Amino acid sequence: MPQDKKLYIKTYGCQMNVYDSERMAEAMGGQGYVTTDSPDDADMILLNTCHIREKAAEKVYSELGRYKHLKAEKPDLKIGVAGCVAQAEGQEIMRRQPMVDLVVGPQSYHRLPQLEARARAGEKALDTDFPEDDKFETLKTRPKAKRGPTAFLTVQEGCDKFCAFCVVPYTRGAEVSRPADRIMTEARDLVERGVRELTLLGQNVNAYHGHEGGLAGLIRELATIEDLKRIRFTTSHPNDMDDDLIAAHGDCDKLMPYLHLPVQAGSDRILKRMNRQHTAEQYIRLIERLRAARPDLHLSGDFIVGFPEETEEDFQATLDLIEEVRYGSAFSFKYSTRPGTPAAERDQLPEDVKDDRLKRLQALLTRQQRALQDEMVGRTVKVLFEKAGRFAGQMVGKSEYLHAVHVESDTIVPGSLHSVSIEHSGANSLSGRLVA
């Protein structure tokens, strides 16, 4: 029998890239590839890239440089770059790194088998189109292997918002929603294979329109799958949080009380310069409505500090918003330019100013996160257990609020839900005992 070829995938960035990497592995599985955890024994190396973070492209080129010796030792090794950097850089990647054999954008990765075949034939293969054919339909047959208790499921891609700092509309394209029947088929398949919690993914997931009831309608239909116990979604835009989706947080038991809702800044002047198309007051009133529907809702957010023209007064408005909302977790970054975006052409703030503001903002967020976590002590939460912990006899899972929870037990089965009384709050997790 022919020996399986080995595929090494390194994934950068968001959960959508994690999902995409799984699908790429499945696509190449049909060509005789099995995944490996090491690039050293791979027959093909694939970097699934993200263009959101600072100097994203340079980090990819640096990573590629680490593989030069492997290419020299194994001339038949094929190296590919996928994802958003591939979409943005295209031919430039092959020019700067001639050892790269194929480049494929995030909307074309269902064509990986054909690109790999071209690379094996000695061609340089490049595909950064936005094709008409549905990549999800092309790759709809997943291997029927058992899955862990949680999984990502992409339902929407692209964004039409054109925030002044963001490259997503240029790398992922316009907003596109998958048909609800196809999502339901994939969800049932995942549940049959052991998944108990689904996180619905989209660059702007609450703009989903593939169901007649929008995202709320899709969530309610997914909730009818008996063995699916939990539903989450990310990432959302405040302008697309409609009345029905707000209501779903209160009346859909399977929709978890955790919401990632980025605001980016608390200054109306900066929000306008970012082209966010909402004010700080509108965001706060939206949070009030969500918490009226689900009082125990935990919020997560995104923040950018040091945006062009941000004053100390603007930054203080962001701190004030954070104080008012109280976040259970958040992601925060210094502004960095993205070529081709409007904000990249504006006067930039000094790096030391950005550093100082980021440090102050993160200190506030850390205090809030720890305080809300400490408030869980004495409460009973439902934990979906996923795997064994670091120590013998320990299991770890996630609460409704996405806290990591550790329990001492030899009887818990991965994929099971148990009530846990929280007894201790650690640096980044909770621990407790099972409630009979």
3 state DSSP class of 279: coil
Radius of gyration (C-alpha) of the chain in whole angstroms: 23
Higher pLDDT, 72 or 269: 269
Average the pLDDT over each of 72-76, 146-150, 316-320, 340-344 and give the range with the smallest value.
Answer: 146-150
| CA-based nearest residue to 112, from 17, 22, 24 | 24
**Average pLDDT of the segment spanning 188-208:** 95
Give tens-digit pLDDT for 144-185.
556 789 999 999 988 999 999 988 888 778 899 999 999 999
CA torsion 22-24-26-29 (nearest 10°) is -130
Model pLDDT, residue 215: 98
CA 362 → CA 303, 325, 368, 375, distances in Å? 10, 15, 10, 20
Whole-number pLDDT of residue 148: 86
Q: Predicted confidence band at 195 (pLDDT cuts at 50, 70, 90)?
A: very high
Q: What angle in degrees, to the nearest 10, is found between the helix axes of 15-29 and 112-120?
A: 60
- CA–CA gap between residue 363 and residue 250 (Å, rounded): 32
> In this predicted model, what pLDDT tens digit does every residue of 342-400 receive, in sequence order?
998 999 999 999 999 999 999 999 999 999 999 999 999 999 999 888 888 899 999 99
Which residue's entry shows tokens 């996160």? 369
| Beta-strand relationship, 329-334 and 380-388 | unpaired
d(CA 369, CA 429): 11
Residue 434 has pLDDT above 60, yes or no: yes
Which residue did the predictor score with more confidence, 270 or 148? 270
Nearest to 423 by CA among 384, 372, 378: 378
Residues contacting residue 129 through CB under 8 Å, at least 6 positions apart: 105, 107, 108
Q: Which of 136-150, 200-214, 357-371 has the lowest mean pLDDT?
A: 136-150
pLDDT-derived band of residue 211, with 50, 70 and 90 as boundaries?
A: very high
Domains, in order of start, for the chain: 5-127 (3.40.50.12160), 135-374 (3.80.30.20), 380-434 (2.40.50)
User: Does residue 139 have a pLDDT over 60?
Assistant: no
CA distance readout (Å), 386 to 343, 394, 404, 416, 417: 42, 11, 10, 8, 10
Q: How high is the pLDDT of residue 291?
A: 98
Identity of the amino acid at 48: N
Helical spans, DSSP H, in 177-279: 180-192, 214-222, 243-251, 268-273
Per DSSP, helices labelled H in 227-350 are 243-251, 268-273, 280-293, 312-325
Sign of CA dihedral 241, 361, 166, 348: positive
Q: Following CA atoms 353, 354, 360, 362 in sequence, which dihedral angle do they give, to the nearest 10 degrees?
A: -170
Greater confidence, 266 or 65? Answer: 266
Phi, psi of 425, deg, nearest 5: -115, 115
Cα-based angle 149, 46, 175 (whole degrees, multiple of 5): 70
Task: Indicate if the pLDDT at residue 30 is higher than 90.
Answer: no
Question: What is the per-residue pLDDT for 1?
Answer: 40
Average confidence (pLDDT) over 256-273: 98
| Residues in contact with 411: Cβ distance below 8 Å, sequence separation at least 6, in sequence order | none
The pLDDT of residue 181: 96
Annotated binding site for [4Fe-4S] cluster: 14, 50, 84, 159, 163, 166
Quick one: pLDDT at residue 130? 59
Q: Which residues contact 252 (CB under 8 A, 6 or more apart)?
A: 216, 219, 220, 223, 231
Residues 294, 300, 302, 305: what is their CA dihedral angle, to the nearest 10 degrees? 110
143 pLDDT higher than 60: no
pTM here? 0.79
Q: Is the pLDDT of residue 253 over 50?
A: yes
Q: What's the pLDDT score for residue 2?
A: 52
The answer to whether residue 140 scores a pLDDT higher than 70 is: no
For residues 200 and 155, the answer to whether their CB atoms sit within 8 Å is yes
Q: Is 407 helix (H, G, I), strand (E, B) or coil?
A: strand
Which comes out higher in pLDDT, residue 248 or 388? 248
* pLDDT higher at 140 or 74: 74
Nearest to 104 by CA among 88, 122, 128: 128
Calculate mean pLDDT across residues 42-59.
Answer: 80
Look at residue 300 in the predicted model and tell me its pLDDT: 97
CA 246, distance to chain mean position in Å, is 21
Residue partners of 40: CB distance under 8 A and separation at least 6: 70
| Binding residue positions | 14, 50, 84, 159, 163, 166
Both tokens assigned to 97: 């790194």
Specify which of 42-56, 72-86, 271-285 reaches the highest per-range mean pLDDT.
271-285
Q: What is the mean pLDDT of the chain?
A: 91
Distance of CA 105 to the CA centre of its chain: 17
